[in-house]
């Protein structure tokens, strides 16, 4: 076997995918009757405890190293604010991509009125805890932490980004959420690579789910911001199908521009802290700013070039993996795809 660590990462993910599918089946047949219990099993056990425990046992042999591999690195206040801004931007990208995808599904005969609800019952604070805060943490540990960052540690960044995004979509196990969850996963993955930390993805994921809950309650109780969102969407879909797609596509392009701009804020902040750390390492922190500029002239040039690097450009990685290294990856893809396809068939019957 060429790369045992990648093999183990794929194996761990397959165990998690199989476990989630099993819990869904048990819930479908009312063997697991409580939504709180299923949330605990899926989020707390499968997506949090399994990745950390199994990765520590099979890959790092060290829990502290596992958290480092997963990307648990502190972020600056600037990155925190940028992540909150990205949370708003990606929520609306996610919302409009979902609208387009639902429209396509409807044209294929799918009953899009069978909505997948985030609600688990109770008041808004309980829902935010169970369907925003906990999933925002636990699902990121599995996807952007264990799978993507774990693969990146072995030199397979593109591999980790691509398949963590696809698997994130498939892990939802229904056709309605697959496509936009995959897109959201890819955009969050890029943020994690740029920030070199998993925390921005957790913030974005939390905000996406929390805003969905907020607007769901807002539609029910007539909250002002929710009513404005509904008015905009009614205007968009009051026109013919082609014009609606054009408007939504334009909005998505604008939001992607904002997404890219916030990525560059994170990059520049990261380079600033790199320069400060470098000055300390070289024992130059006591110099005046002018003296420091002179001493770090060449380094400053390199950092400026780095600041202009395309955040969507990922360096070349190790040679291609063999089939045996990815056998459990293919198993996860097949299992997730079969259940997702079945959900589509169910929706058109």
| Residue 179 exposure: Cα atoms within 13 Å on the Cβ side | 16
Contact call for residues 12 and 58 (beta carbons, < 8 A): yes
Task: Say what the pTM is.
Answer: 0.89
119-146 residue pLDDT tens:
555 678 888 999 999 999 999 999 999 9
Return the number of other C-beta atoms located less than 10 Å from residue 133's C-beta: 17
What is the full per-residue pLDDT of the chain (349 aa) written as tens digits? 557 999 999 999 999 999 999 999 998 888 998 888 999 999 999 999 999 999 999 999 999 999 999 999 999 999 999 999 999 999 999 999 988 888 888 888 887 655 444 455 567 888 899 999 999 999 999 999 999 999 999 999 999 999 999 999 999 999 989 999 999 999 999 999 999 999 999 999 999 999 999 998 888 888 878 888 888 888 877 777 788 888 888 999 999 999 999 999 999 888 777 777 776 777 666 666 666 666 666 666 655 655 556 666 665 566 688 899 999 999 999 999 999 999 888 888 7
The residue extents of the domains of the chain are 4-348
Which residues, 6 or more positions from 315, have their beta carbon under 8 angstroms from its beta carbon? Answer: 157
Q: What is the pLDDT of residues 76-92, one digit of tens each?
A: 999 999 999 999 999 99
CA distance 334 to 111: 24
């Amino acid at each position: 076997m060429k790369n045992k660590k990648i093999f183990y990462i794929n194996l761990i993910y397959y165990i998690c995918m199989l476990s989630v599918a099993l819990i869904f089946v048990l819930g479908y047949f009312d063997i697991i009757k409580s939504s709180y219990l299923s949330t605990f099993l899926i989020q707390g056990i499968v997506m949090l405890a399994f990745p950390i425990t199994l990765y520590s046992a099979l890959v790092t042999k060290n829990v502290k190293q596992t958290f480092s591999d997963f990307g648990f690195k502190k972020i600056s206040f600037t990155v925190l604010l940028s992540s909150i801004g990205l949370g708003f931007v990606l929520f609306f990208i996610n919302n409009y991509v979902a609208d387009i995808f639902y429209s396509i599904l409807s044209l294929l005969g799918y009953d899009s009125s069978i909505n997948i609800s985030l609600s688990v019952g109770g008041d808004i604070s309980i829902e935010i805890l169970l369907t925003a805060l906990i999933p925002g943490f636990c699902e990121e540990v599995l996807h952007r932490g264990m799978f993507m960052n774990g693969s990146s540690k072995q030199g397979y960044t593109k591999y980790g980004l691509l398949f963590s995004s696809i698997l994130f979509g498939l892990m939802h196990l229904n056709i309605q959420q697959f496509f936009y969850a995959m897109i959201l996963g890819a955009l969050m993955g890029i943020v994690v690579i740029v920030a070199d930390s998993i925390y921005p993805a957790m913030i974005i994921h939390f905000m996406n789910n929390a805003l969905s809950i907020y607007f769901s309650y807002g539609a029910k109780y007539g909250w002002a911001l929710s009513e404005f969102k509904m008015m905009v969407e009614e205007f968009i879909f009051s026109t013919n199908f082609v014009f609606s797609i054009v408007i939504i596509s334009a909005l998505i392009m604008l939001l992607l521009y904002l997404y890219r701009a916030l990525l560059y804020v994170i990059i520049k902040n990261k380079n600033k802290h790199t320069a400060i750390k470098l000055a300390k390492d070289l024992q130059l922190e006591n110099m005046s700013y002018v003296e420091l500029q002179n001493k770090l002239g060449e380094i400053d040039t390199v950092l400026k070039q780095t600041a202009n690097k395309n955040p969507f450009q990922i360096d070349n990685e190790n040679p291609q993996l063999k089939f045996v290294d990815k056998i459990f990856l293919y198993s996860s893809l097949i299992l997730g795809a079969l259940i997702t396809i079945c959900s589509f068939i169910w929706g058109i019957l």
